[in-house]
Each structure stands twice: as structure tokens, then as C-alpha cells.
Amino acid sequence: MFTLKEEFPQYYNYQGRRTSKKLSNSNINLLNNHYYKYTLDKKIIDYHKVKDEKKKINFNKSNFSQINLEIGFGDGEYLLRSAYSKPKELFIGVDVYINGIVKVLKKILEHGIENIMLSNVNCLFFLDSLASKSIDNLVIINPDPWTKKKHHKRRLISFQNIQLFNHVTKYKHSIKITTDSASYVEAIQEIFNKKKEFLDELKFEILNKSDDLYGISRYQRKAIEKGQNIYLLTI
């Protein structure tokens, strides 16, 4: 893993945290010895080195019934729960947070999970390496809202990125985004208001306790403890 990051650092750069604490030697060994078995990083980098459409990642020949992608899986709570409950589907998790990669990798090895793939590459490089309409469902749980105005350009949910999401997903309304930031919701709604042809593509609701995506991450739970709403946007 670290060899790729040292050789191609440009594909791993992202504004935000990469680790919450220094990795132990045992965790470094875990990544070096096992991460390569469960990652798409090399395929992503191979595509970007030559930009050959034939090298784009395509899951058409996969034996899985559906291909699901989660961007920013954090500690992997939703990713792991989904993989446990739907063993015939493939779940791909992309996150630059290395400690989260370690936690999920440990669970994969502990439980012999065979339907999870991981990537530590910047998600925009990851998405750009996918063949068109190759993903059945895309989930983004509580992306960083970058609340300061000078940081808004760092937000993951932008018009340009929504076009990229649409390019790689097969169906309308197969992209689900949750956030506890009302201002982020307003900013996303504003994107669609400016593009009239997309108005019917955005669905908005406030989640309740019975919803599958409610309280699934520690960031959501912190927001819930403060009495904040969890919003679901479906594109």
C-alpha cells in the first residue's frame, strides 16, 4: 500500500484528515500484508497513467448481483453492516482516512468477508476511473460540510461532482447523501435550482429513527444528541 502512495502521491491527496492517530507497527504490517488483496488502488492508478478507456474499471463480468459504492465510509459501520446483510452484493468503500481502512480490513480478515473492496485513493480519481453506468447504488454518509465560506470549494457535493456521480451510476435516484448540516442542504438545493433540467432529480426528506441510514455513523449520532435533523438527499 505505502509503495503506491509514495510512488503516486497525487492520487492520494485530499483536503481533510488522513489519520486520527499514528498507526502502530502492527497496523502498518496489516496494511502491507493484506490491503493489496482487497483494494482497487492499482487499477485506478493504472488507468490514470494512460487514460485508456479500455482500462476503466468495469464490473460487468462480476458474479455479484449489485455493485454498491460508499464514499467516505469513516469507521466502516454502514459498509460492514451492508456487506454482512447482503452477501451476494459487492460493497466498495472509498476513504482517505487510513484508520478507517485498518478497522474495516481487520473485520474483513476476522469474519472472512468476501464482498468488500477498498480504496484509499481520492474519490474523484476513483470515480473517474470507473466505466460509465457501472455502479448500482452510491451512498455518501455525512460528508464534511466545510462550513467556513472560504472552504466551500472543498465540498464534495458540487455540480461538477454530481455529474460524475450520475455518469457512473446506472439508475435515476440511486445516489443517496445524508447530512446534518442544513446550510449544506440549502447549497445542494441551490445547485439544482440553477440547473432547471435537474429539478426533478433531487428528492429531499428528514430521516426518522426507523430509516436505514439514520444514526449509522458517529457523526450522525453526535448530531442527533444535539437535537439536529439528519437530512437525506436522493439524486
| Catalytic positions | 144
Separation of alpha carbons 16 and 3, rounded Å: 22
Give the strand pairing for 116-119 and 90-94. Answer: parallel
First to last CA, the chain: 33
Residue whose C-alpha cell is 498507526? 23
Find how far residue 32's CA is from the centre of its chain: 22
Separation of alpha carbons 64 and 66, rounded Å: 6
What the block records as the C-alpha cell of 61 is 463480468
